[in-house]
Structure 1
């Protein structure tokens, strides 16, 4: 059903592995679309209907290309069949018709279709739309934060007051707003945003034994950062010392001696 291509062992495994779901991950231009198309065609040869498959990609272009290649492959095989292959011809014609509505699309398009079809299961208003405009999304986030912020100010919670003082100045609380929005963006990139936010305080917990240097925050986040900064400074001082020596600036050498790692 398709042209002969010399696939790698990994690509062959992705094409021929049956009875299970697969994830094809590779760099741009490595042949992901061809492999997925070949896998679909291989399943069609095994009498697996196109309507029983779910193929999702990250771009509309890749999804459209896949459908086009499958259509061409089906058309090519139909053209090669003789009049006696009635059953096979009917099967291929059915697949061509089903291809137009097959679940070969981007991930977000498939999820949108799923929500539109089963909105009543998750108690969602059927009259909804995707929030695709970045400006509108940002305005909505800022509006919600403004409401939450005013509510917290009215409650006079000491913890919130301390948080505001840590990130704001005597003129505005823009610093706090910036931190909240940044945490919001990071949280939304996580599979479980709320659970991720709830785990954040654990990284800053004071150790039961030892001082600040024994804390998880210092060991895993602050110490590596400080070490990287000190290494960079040491390297730069070494370069400056060499340049001072080469240019006859001996009096500057004592001030440019590289610091040692302790």
Structure 2
């Protein structure tokens, strides 16, 4: 649009927003370089020379910087102090803690049953710090979504289930199973690698039986996982891994292979 031959637009009439300061700086540089190349072809163009002079005033910034600029210009419309400033991370953390403390005190004073039930479930006998930490983590995570309130409401519905429902049938069970599957697959993969190294020349063969036993444990856990959450829970309670044997003093082993197996 800036280089349009019949209806060019001044660069300071455009709004260009990016996600990072680095991207904004790169965009400004690229536009400047394009203007300079065009000026080399048309050295007498007043329009191109004007664009180069306007480039430094152009609205090329991050979304946050643009929003801040709008607020500074129109502070009187939203009724805020014209000399406001952006709080740093430390100040924001203190403000969040103060607000949360005040909110907790209010609910304690009101003897809110729903709130007390949450406190009873997610705190220890001595402090509610764990619950406050959980709330702050949820808040921060929600801010990464386009609609934070909508996302929070959505995850609340995930826990709205009938009494007596099996864990396997709960909406969030899919995510639990996904995490378990990834962990078991990772363990299975590492054990397979370790077992292979015990068979190599100079490998720690004395660890083969222990690793093979562990591999069987993982296989049983995977089998229980595919039956039900209850079966997996019972299997996990009774899980027992074999104790690794000590390296024989009279054996000639490749120390690098021994170390590789230990890391796996």
Category of TM-score, reference length = shorter chain? 0.5 to 0.7
Deviation at 1:202, TM superposition (A): 0.9
Describe the shift of the 1:114–1:164 C-alpha distance in structure 2 as closer, same or farther (beyond 3 A): same
Q: In 2, distance between residues paired with 1:178 and 1:50?
A: 46
Deviation at 1:231, TM superposition (A): 3.3
Provide Cα deviations, 1:155-214, integer angstroms capped at 9, x if missing partner: 111211121122211111111111111111112222222222222211122159963321
Matched with 2:128 is 173
The counterpart of 2:71, out of the listed 100, 110, 115, is 115
Tell me the SS of whatever aligns to 2:172: helix
The counterpart of 2:185, out of the listed 215, 231, 241, is 231
Matched with 2:107 is 152
- On the 8 A contact 1:240/1:256 being kept in 2, the answer is no
Q: In 2, distance between residues paired with 1:249 and 1:164?
A: 48
Describe the shift of the 1:186–1:45 C-alpha distance in structure 2 as closer, same or farther (beyond 3 A): farther
TM, length-normalised to structure 1: 0.67
Q: In 1, distance between residues paired with 2:62 and 2:24?
A: 7
Matched with 1:212 is 167
Q: In 2, distance between residues paired with 1:43 and 1:207?
A: 63
- On the 8 A contact 1:56/1:106 being kept in 2, the answer is yes
Structure 2 portions without partners, runs of 5+:
227-264
Tell me the SS of whatever aligns to 2:60: strand
The counterpart of 2:86, out of the listed 114, 130, 138, is 130
Q: Which moved more, 1:116-125 or 1:158-167?
A: 116-125
Describe the shift of the 1:44–1:181 C-alpha distance in structure 2 as closer, same or farther (beyond 3 A): farther
Matched with 2:175 is 221
Matched with 1:52 is 13
Tell me the SS of whatever aligns to 2:9: coil
Matched with 1:197 is 152
Q: In 1, distance between residues paired with 2:157 and 2:135?
A: 18
Q: In 1, distance between residues paired with 2:208 and 2:37?
A: 78
User: What is the Cα-based RMSD across aligned positions, in Å?
Assistant: 3.5
Q: In 2, distance between residues paired with 1:66 and 1:248?
A: 57
Deviation at 1:103, TM superposition (A): 0.9
Q: In 2, distance between residues paired with 1:236 and 1:81?
A: 64
Q: In 2, distance between residues paired with 1:109 and 1:251?
A: 58
Deviation at 1:246, TM superposition (A): 4.0
After TM superposition, the structure 1 = structure 2 runs for residues 4-19 of structure 1, keeping only pairs within 5 Å, are none
Deviation at 1:154, TM superposition (A): 0.6
Deviation at 1:92, TM superposition (A): 2.7
Tell me the SS of whatever aligns to 1:247: helix
Structure 1 portions without partners, runs of 5+:
1-39
Q: In 2, distance between residues paired with 1:236 and 1:213?
A: 28
Equivalences, count: 216
